[in-house]
Structure 1
Amino acid sequence: MTDGTGTGAGIGSGGTREAPPARMPREWVATALRRERAKAGISLSELAKRAGIAKSTLSQLEAATGNPGIETLWALAVALGVPFSVLVESPSPAVTVIRAGEGPSMRAENAPYVGTLLSAGPTGVRRDIYHGAMEPGAARESEPHIPGSVEHIVISTGRLLAGPRDETVELSVGDYMSYRGDVPHLYEALVPGTTFVLVMQHT
């Protein structure tokens, strides 16, 4: 059931809202992981150790049989020293149109959050754009990204608490915020149907 906000979130049996389903072709992730691990010249075991995940989990991801959450992919991106988008972006055609509710999306493992990659920065630019959809519940806590990362957020609907863990700010529709992404930070929806555009900048 849709919630009428355009986010695609549904109502669970207990009356609570659920984040929309994730849409991430496993082959994209598998190909990117194998490519970036080969570039880094490290073994499957070593990458799993650096990312803090089980070797069997990484093996499944590289075989396109695993179903990773955002936290797992972030850990792998940091361990490989690459922007998160490198692991999830699709080949870029000359013209790209992503309608609302489409695009590759990933579900968080510990919060009602789904992030959709809208655009990955071209080589040398390192600018990635996401559409975020979140419902009230557990906060989405993020560990530091690669050094020099900066995040920019613009709220589309609802209200969001966001920013570094010790400097969070409540944001409403139309509000913009930027902050360091290489320190612990979080996002928490304060009302149902909260959506936002998140731009990640990497130096």
Structure 2
Amino acid sequence: MSELAKRAGVAKSTLSQLEAGVGNPSLETLWALATALNVQVTQLIAQPRSEVRVIRANEGVALRAEQSNYAATLLAVCPAGVQRDLYRLAVEPGAPRESAPHAPGTVEHIVICSGRARLGPVGQLVELLPGDYASYSASEGHVFEALEPHTTAVMLIEHS
């Protein structure tokens, strides 16, 4: 612990608190620790994956900077060797967009910007509001349905 504290420039007492689960590290502290451990900072804060993952607009662990009014909430970690495509969606109420299964291992990530939508794998649909995030396997049939006019979203598709 002493060596890690020295390499990261962090007090040993801070590391002890973090190890005990009682600390609340700043973004700078996490970056320093990740650099000292030679890992991506996302490996220190990523949540375990479930089949359909939803993070509401006011949920998640927000990391705050010490020197500015800046907060970052990790929504998803990119696995090694994965390619990603990023889309902006503009969807109106009406017939839901039903997508056929993509290749095995494909994952869709959605953040609702405005409006309201119901989406996800058939049989596991979730309703999202502005700021909400969901991810799910797209290797089975899935749906995106706008529930309000002028629904917008950002969609990221991972291909492994």
TM-score by length of 1: 0.39
TM-score by length of 2: 0.49
- Between Structure 1 and Structure 2, whose CA radius of gyration is higher? 2
Larger RCO, structure (CA 8 Å, separation 6 or more): 2
**Structure with more of its chain in strand, by fraction:** 2
